[in-house]
């Protein structure tokens, strides 16, 4: 770990290695029973973590060291390796409560690629610059890999967001609130996600101190590597870039977005094969994030591949998945 990343690494470690909730620990037991010795770490993230709730669907990433060893059959391993991660749905009981979870399985290698600056899609780094909890970690090497991944995710978030902010001949002024809301808005726009401005604002306000500290540490890391010139004016950060580098980054971002959307669509179709009862879940997510309620017929519920597409196409035409 570079010395310039020390503050980021400490923040990442403090955030990751907190006690997990009983519900998250119970789901983690089920994940461990499914993937056995191939499992390296289990990360809990998302709305249930932010809201300290076990209602709804809990979100997890299961990191493995080998796809073949993680499954009982070859085809899910090959599918996972081709388009990581693979997303599965599971349920388990915790006393009298029924817990529901969404689990994304990915190798440590693919996870580290996904948080990197060269990643086409924003899905992984955008999730893990947000607070997450390592519910279970296999060993010290896995702990180090998780900290390195969160550090890389934060740096990628800052590097990707800065070119999207307004500038005056390469000079930008912003505070933590405007920065992170711009970052979340940009990452959702690059995926097939339905998120309102209110949701984006609430996402930031669940942990404003964390995001302020993360931004400060990431900016200072980039300044320490002489990637940017940095100073501060009260709550405002003032960042200067070479204009040529800024324009090049914006061009790359425009070119990357269509590829990101295509990969997100492929991922969505793949998840339909692995997830289970995917169409009711997708419509539940849509209603939760946009307020739009669409009702399935019994035929659509039983045969979503044959009869569910008119409903999905209607949503796409209305621009509610973006």
- In terms of domains, do 144 and 213 share one? yes
3-state secondary structure at position 133:
strand
Give the total number of structural domains in the chain.
2
Q: Tell me the average pLDDT of the chain.
A: 87
Q: Which domain holds residue 34?
A: 3-252
Rounded CA gap, 8 and 311, in Å?
Answer: 44
pLDDT at 317 over 60: no
- Per-residue pLDDT of 165-217, as tens digits, reads 999 989 999 999 999 999 999 888 777 665 677 888 899 999 999 999 999 99
Say if residue 319 is in the same domain as residue 193: no
Give the CATH number of the domain where residue 56 resides.
3.30.460.10
Q: Is the same domain home to 247 and 282?
A: no
- Label residue 50 exposed, middle or buried (CB < 10 Å: 0-12, 13-18, 19+): middle
More confident residue, 20 or 278: 20
Q: Does residue 267 fall inside a structural domain?
A: no
pLDDT at 67: 96
Looking at the fold, whether 84 and 147 belong to one and the same domain comes out as yes
Residue-wise pLDDT tens digits, 142-158:
999 999 999 999 999 99
The model's pLDDT over 9-58, given as tens digits with 9 standing for 90+, comes to 999 999 999 999 999 999 999 999 999 999 999 999 999 999 999 988 89
Reported confidence tier of residue 6, pLDDT bands at 50, 70, 90: very high
Do 110 and 217 lie in one domain? The reply is yes
Residue 249 or residue 283, greater confidence: 249
Same domain, 247 and 289: no
| pLDDT surpassing 60 at residue 97 | yes
Answer yes or no: do 247 and 299 share one domain.
no
In a domain, 273, yes or no: no
Q: What is the mean pLDDT of residues 225-237?
A: 94
282 and 245 share a domain?
Answer: no
pLDDT at 307 over 60: no
Question: Are residues 318 and 222 part of one domain?
Answer: no
Please tell me whether residues 127 and 208 are part of one structural domain: yes
How many other β-carbons are positioned within 10 Å of the β-carbon of residue 120? 15
Calculate what percentage of the chain has a pLDDT beyond 90.
59
Query: Between the CA of residue 136 and those of 58, 63, 184, what are the distances in Å?
Result: 15, 10, 27
Over residues 121-136, the mean pLDDT reads 94
Q: Do 179 and 218 form a contact (C-beta atoms < 8 A)?
A: no
**What's the pLDDT at 321?**
46
**Tokens encoding 265:** 């669509």
Q: Judge whether 258 lies within some domain.
A: no
Residue 236 covered by a domain: yes
Quick one: pLDDT at residue 55?
86
Nearest Cα to 149, choosing from 183, 121, 108, 186?
Answer: 108
Report yes or no: 163 and 250 within 8 Å, Cβ to Cβ.
Answer: yes
- DSSP run (H or E) holding 247: helix 243-274
Q: Is residue 265 part of a domain?
A: no
The beta strand positions in the chain, using DSSP E, are 39-45, 57-64, 86-94, 97-107, 133-137, 171-174, 229-233, 236-240
Shared domain for 26 and 163, answered yes or no, is yes
For residues 116 and 208, state if they share a domain.
yes
């Amino acid at each position: 770990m570079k010395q310039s990343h020390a503050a980021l690494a400490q923040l990442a470690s403090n955030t990751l290695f907190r006690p997990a909730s009983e519900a998250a620990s119970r789901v983690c037991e089920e994940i461990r029973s499914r993937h056995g010795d191939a499992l390296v770490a289990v990360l809990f993230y998302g709305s249930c973590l932010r809201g300290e709730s076990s209602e709804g669907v809990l979100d997890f990433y299961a990191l493995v060291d080998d796809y073949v060893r993680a499954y009982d059959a070859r085809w899910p391993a090959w599918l996972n390796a081709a388009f990581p991660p693979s997303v599965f749905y599971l349920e388990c009981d915790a006393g009298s409560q029924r817990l529901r979870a969404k689990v994304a399985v990915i190798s440590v290698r693919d996870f580290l690629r996904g948080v990197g600056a060269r990643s086409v899609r924003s899905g992984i780094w955008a999730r893990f610059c947000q607070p997450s909890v390592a519910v279970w970690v296999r060993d010290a090497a896995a702990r180090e890999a998780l900290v390195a991944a969160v550090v890389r995710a934060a740096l990628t978030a800052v590097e990707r967001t800065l070119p999207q902010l307004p500038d005056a001949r390469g000079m930008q002024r912003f505070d933590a609130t405007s920065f992170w809301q711009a970052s979340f808005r940009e990452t959702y726009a690059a995926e097939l996600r339905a998120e309102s401005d209110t949701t984006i604002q609430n996402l930031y306000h669940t942990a404003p101190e964390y995001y302020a500290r993360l931004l400060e540490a990431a900016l200072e890391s980039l300044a320490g590597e002489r990637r940017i010139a940095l100073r501060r004016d009260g709550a405002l950060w003032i960042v200067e870039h070479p204009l040529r580098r800024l324009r090049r980054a914006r061009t790359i971002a425009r070119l990357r977005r269509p590829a990101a959307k295509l990969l997100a669509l492929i991922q969505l179709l793949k998840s339909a094969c692995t997830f289970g009862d995917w169409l009711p879940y997708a419509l539940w997510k849509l209603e939760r994030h946009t307020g739009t309620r669409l009702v399935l017929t019994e035929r659509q519920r039983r045969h979503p591949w044959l009869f569910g597409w008119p409903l999905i196409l209607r949503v796409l035409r209305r621009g509610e998945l973006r």
